[in-house]
Structure 1
């Protein structure tokens, strides 16, 4: 793996249900994600606002409401897969863009991306940079909050306190 330090701004469209905990990764932990197993907290971000919107919409023309937020990130150790697969990486990484949802929830097969995430965490990295599957040329960053080390920083930029402080204000209509 290639490891690097990052200091950057990143973006995410927050779903109303989880907007009060933008840095927790709890939403991704409930169902799993491309690079996180169920019960593993993960915060998925994009390096470009356009990529954040593309990832949120998942290529659907109609998608639910959300709030775009900017995050300020500083991490000492991130696996850098932003250039995609290269023969210098383990062959397992060739399948980074697999249909992980189908594998996990329909075929009942462990997605190789979950094993990749295990390798990132075992390599003591706080996150992983990887290409977007929803926006060509876009780059994503998944951060594992439980892996943050001293000196790492993951902060949502909310100078006016506009984000909700609890789920009480986001109770869905019945």
Structure 2
């Protein structure tokens, strides 16, 4: 683990508008699994750049509607796997960023990123920084631990209180 407190970072999260009132939920990733989380592990996927968040959300397909939220993360230990020495520290190779994790899952194979997840968690990591697959030069964060006692603090930046607080905002339109 690094020495001293981690500097706060700003993250961008693009997600399905239907879940606008739950910007800090990682339940979708827990339900379906993700590049850096096995099934059952709540995970927040976000990016360090706004354009990267958008590119990752759409995965190169049709431009879907999205809600984009700015997040503030403090106190997290996030090994930066865009750095070769950090990869080596965890016994990983750069090729881990190119694996077809979803295809592996569909074939009943444990993706290398899921094996790496366990190694990183065992080393005390709260998440990981990794290169964007959809936005060359961009960086993403998969966050596994947040907002419980002793864990990093993740907050949505919503200074004017515009984010919905319940699913009621998605009810039928009023005439």
Fold similarity call, TM over 0.5: yes
List gaps (5 residues or longer) in structure 1: none
The structure with the greater share of residues assigned to strand is 1
Shift >4 Å, 4+ stretches: 84-89, 146-149
Q: Which residue of structure 2 lines up, in the alignment, with residue 128 of structure 1?
A: 128
TM-score by length of 2: 0.84
Deviation at 1:75, TM superposition (A): 2.3
Structure 1 partner of 2:12: 11
Query: Which whole-Å CA distance do the structure 2 matches of 1:165 and 1:9 have between them?
Result: 22
When the two structures are aligned, how many residues end up with a matched partner? 170
Cα RMSD over matched residues? 2.6
Q: Mind listing any 5+ residue stretches in structure 2 that lack a counterpart?
A: none
Indicate the residue corresponding to 2:137 in structure 1: 137
**Matches of 2:19 and 2:52 in 1, distance apart?**
19
Taking the aligned partners of 2:98 and 2:144, their CA distance within structure 1 comes to 19
Q: TM-score if structure 1 supplies the norm length?
A: 0.85
- CA-to-partner distance for each residue in 1:41-94, whole Å, 9 max, x for gaps? 00011000000000011011x232111110011124222213358555414663
> Cα 1:36–1:136, aligned 2, differ >3 Å: closer, same or farther?
same
Contact preservation (8 Å) 2:44, 2:143 = yes
Match of 2:165 in 1: 165
Structure 2 counterpart of 1:50: 51
Inter-partner Cα distance in structure 1 for 2:79 and 2:150: 17
Query: SS in structure 2 opposite 1:128?
Result: strand
